[in-house]
Amino acid sequence: MKASARGIARAVEALTGGRLVLHPTETVVSLSGDPYSTVAVEAARRLKGAARPRPFLCLVADAASARALAGDWPDAAEALAVAFWPGPLT
């Protein structure tokens, strides 16, 4: 699937507006939203039927972004990031 400039612009607009976007990645089809937006996180919980809080997968640009979002960043996570990023790692 090829991305178009129009499609990317629409996705950016949706994400910055607290909405969700469905898109392919290298490893999965992803339902994405701004992890810092309570509106987006609650919308994802409703869609997934997640009644109780539980963690979501989060696509990040780099290890620094992952560290900023993580409540805990163990040595094993750092080793995986160094070994495999940039690139797909789930």
What's the pLDDT tens digit per position in 11-60? 999 999 999 999 887 788 888 999 899 999 999 988 888 667 777 888 78
The domain ranges of the chain are: 1-59, 61-90
Contacts of 48 by beta carbon, 8 Å cutoff, 6+ apart: 31
Look at residue 1 and tell me whether its pLDDT is greater than 70. no
Pinpoint the alpha helices (H) of the chain.
Answer: 5-16, 38-48, 63-69, 75-84
pLDDT at position 43 is: 92
Task: Please tell me whether residue 63 adopts helix, strand or coil conformation.
Answer: helix
Quickly state the pLDDT bin for 79 (edges 50, 70, 90).
very high
- The residue ranking higher by pLDDT, 42 or 90, is 42
- Phi, psi at 23, each rounded to 5°: -155, 155
Q: Are 42 and 33 in contact (CB under 8 A)?
A: no
**Distance between CA 48 and CA 12 in Å, rounded?**
22
Mean pLDDT (whole number) for 66-74: 88
